[in-house]
C-alpha cells in the first residue's frame, strides 16, 4: 500500500515536471498525454500494478479525435487555412491540415471520416506524426530522457506503460486531462498567428494572473547597479537586451516579491524559462539579495513591490525542497542542468537540516503492491 501511494505521488510530481521541464514547441505532447489518460480509463485494468500495452494505432486514432474540432475555422472573417488556429509556432501542423482537407470535402463528423476513403491517409498522417514527434519526445525533460511512463523501445507497433502507471492515470484522470488541456490552451494562445484570430481574449490569462511589466522596469536599474552591470547568471556585461527575471519562476510562485528579482540577459532568461536555477546561482542570489543588499532593495522597491526578505527566503526554501523531493533538474546554463536531488538544501546559517528536510532527501521506495 505504501509503495502504491508513493508511486502516485511520484506520478503527480513527474507530470508536474513534464509540463515545466519539457520542450513544447507544438501541442502534440499535450494531445498524447490526454490520449494516454483516455486509453487507460477505456481499457480494463487487470491489477493496480499491471503494465498496459497500448497499440500505436489506438493512439493515432485518439489524435484524430482530439484534433478534429481544431481543424474547424475559428475566425469567420478569415477564409481558408488562415482561419485555423495554429498548433505550433511554425507552419500549420500536418494533422490539422489533413483533417481540414477532409472537412473541405464535406466530411462533417468522425463517423463519416472513418467510412470514407480519406480515413486511411488521415490515419497514416496521424501515425507518422505520433512516431516522429511526441511519442519518443514526451518524456525528455531538461534535454534528457526520463522514461517514467513507458520505456523508449522505439517500437513501431506499441508502447507498454510501466507497472502501476495505468492505475495512476485512472486514479488522477481528471487532473491529468485538466493539466493537459490548460497547457494546450495556453500554448495556442501564445502563438502570434492565433492572437490575431482570438483577439483580446488571447491575453486573458496574463491579464488575470500575470505580473505588472511596467513595474518591473522600476527594478531594472536597481538590479543592474547591484550586479555592477553584469548578467546575474553568466556574469558577463549586460547589454540593451536586459530583462528582469523572477529568480523563483513566476510560474512556480505567482507573486512579485522585490527580493526575488535579478537582472539577466534575455538569452539567459529565455533559456532558464520556468526552471529553478542551479545551486551556485541560488547561493549568489541569497548573498546578493537577502544578505548584502536586503535593506537597499527594500528602500528602493517597496513602493512598487512587496519587499520581505524572510518571505523570499521561505519561498525559495519551499521551491528547492519540492525540487529535491521530485528529483527535478536545476538550470545551470544554456542546455546545462544539474540534479536537484544531489545539491542538498542551502542553509543561510550553519545549523543542521531539520528532520523534516532530511525526509525530503530520502531515496524513494520500490513500488511494492
Q: Which residues contact 122 (CB under 8 A, 6 or more apart)?
A: 64, 98, 99, 102, 113
pTM, two decimals, is 0.80
Beta bridge partners of 245: 262
How many Å apart are CA 39 and CA 4, to the nearest integer? 21
Q: 94 — phi, psi (to 5°)?
A: -60, -45
Number of Cβ within 10 Å of residue 331's Cβ equals 23
pLDDT at 95 exceeding the cut of 70? yes
**Band of residue 255 on the pLDDT scale cut at 50, 70, 90:** confident
C-alpha dist (Å) from residue 198 to 24, 66, 93, 323: 21, 20, 18, 36
Q: Tell me the residue ranges of DSSP E strands in the chain.
A: 52-55, 140-141, 144-145, 158-161, 242-246, 261-265, 329-333, 336-339
How many Å apart are CA 234 and CA 226, to the nearest integer? 15
Mean pLDDT is lowest, of 18-27, 158-167, 337-346, for 337-346
How many Å apart are CA 262 and CA 242, to the nearest integer? 10
Nearest residue to 289 (alpha-carbon basis) of 350, 248, 330, 237: 248
Predicted pLDDT of residue 359: 29
81 secondary structure, DSSP code: G
Nearest residue to 154 (alpha-carbon basis) of 130, 124, 121: 130
The number of angstroms, rounded, from the C-alpha of 165 to the middle of its chain's C-alpha atoms is: 20
In the chain, the N- to C-terminal Cα span, in Å, equals 6
Predicted pLDDT of residue 1: 63
Q: What is the pLDDT of residues 186-228, one digit of tens each?
A: 999 999 989 988 887 777 777 777 777 777 889 999 999 999 9
pLDDT at 344 exceeding the cut of 70? no
Q: 332 — phi, psi (to 5°)?
A: -105, -50
Task: Output the CA torsion sign for 98, 100, 104, 108.
Answer: positive
pLDDT at 350 exceeding the cut of 50? no
How many Å apart are CA 248 and CA 241, to the nearest integer? 21
Q: Which residues contact 144 (CB under 8 A, 6 or more apart)?
A: 329, 337
Q: Where are the domains of the chain?
A: 2-207, 210-360
Q: What is the pLDDT of residues 44-77, one digit of tens each?
A: 888 899 999 999 999 999 999 999 999 998 876 7
Predicted pLDDT of residue 367: 59
Predicted pLDDT of residue 76: 67
C-alpha dist (Å) from residue 66 to 54, 141, 178, 181: 17, 24, 14, 11
pLDDT at 26 exceeding the cut of 70? yes
* Mean pLDDT computed over every residue of the chain: 88
Q: Burial level of 73, CB count in 10 A (0-12/13-18/19+)?
A: middle
Amino acid at each position: 500500500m505504501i509503495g502504491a501511494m508513493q508511486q502516485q505521488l511520484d506520478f503527480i510530481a513527474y507530470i508536474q515536471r513534464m509540463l515545466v521541464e519539457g520542450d513544447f514547441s507544438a501541442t502534440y505532447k499535450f494531445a498524447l498525454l490526454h490520449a494516454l489518460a483516455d486509453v487507460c480509463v477505456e481499457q480494463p485494468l487487470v491489477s493496480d500494478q499491471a503494465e498496459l500495452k497500448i497499440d500505436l494505432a489506438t493512439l493515432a486514432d485518439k489524435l484524430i479525435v482530439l484534433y478534429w474540432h481544431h481543424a474547424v475555422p475559428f475566425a469567420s472573417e478569415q477564409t481558408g487555412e488562415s482561419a485555423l488556429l495554429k498548433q505550433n509556432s511554425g507552419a500549420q501542423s500536418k494533422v490539422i491540415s489533413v483533417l481540414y482537407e477532409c472537412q473541405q470535402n464535406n466530411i462533417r463528423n468522425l463517423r463519416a471520416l472513418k467510412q470514407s476513403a480519406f480515413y486511411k491517409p488521415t490515419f497514416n498522417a496521424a501515425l507518422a506524426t505520433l512516431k516522429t514527434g511526441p511519442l519518443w519526445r514526451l518524456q525528455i525533460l531538461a534535454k534528457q530522457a526520463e522514461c517514467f511512463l513507458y520505456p523508449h523501445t522505439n517500437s513501431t507497433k506499441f508502447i507498454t506503460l510501466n507497472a502501476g502507471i495505468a492505475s495512476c492515470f485512472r486514479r488522477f484522470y481528471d487532473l491529468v486531462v485538466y493539466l493537459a488541456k490548460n497547457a494546450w490552451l495556453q500554448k495556442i494562445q501564445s502563438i502570434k498567428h492565433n492572437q490575431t484570430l482570438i483577439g483580446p481574449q488571447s491575453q486573458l490569462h496574463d491579464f488575470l494572473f500575470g505580473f505588472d511589466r511596467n513595474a518591473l522596469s522600476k527594478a531594472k536599474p536597481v538590479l543592474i547597479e547591484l550586479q555592477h552591470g553584469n548578467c546575474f547568471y553568466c556574469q558577463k556585461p549586460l547589454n540593451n537586451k536586459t530583462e528582469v527575471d523572477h529568480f523563483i519562476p513566476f510560474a512556480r510562485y505567482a507573486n512579485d516579491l522585490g527580493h526575488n528579482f535579478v537582472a539577466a540577459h534575455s538569452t539567459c532568461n529565455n533559456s532558464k524559462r520556468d526552471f529553478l536555477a542551479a545551486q551556485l546561482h541560488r547561493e549568489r542570489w541569497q548573498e546578493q539579495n537577502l544578505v548584502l543588499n536586503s535593506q537597499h532593495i527594500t528602500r528602493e522597491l517597496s513602493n512598487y513591490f512587496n519587499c520581505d526578505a524572510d518571505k523570499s527566503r521561505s519561498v525559495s526554501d519551499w521551491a528547492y525542497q519540492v525540487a529535491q523531493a521530485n528529483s527535478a533538474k536545476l538550470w545551470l546554463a544554456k542546455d546545462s542542468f544539474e540534479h536537484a536531488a544531489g545539491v542538498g538544501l542551502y542553509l543561510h546559517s550553519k545549523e543542521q537540516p531539520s528532520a523534516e528536510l532530511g525526509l525530503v532527501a530520502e531515496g524513494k521506495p520500490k513500488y511494492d503492491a
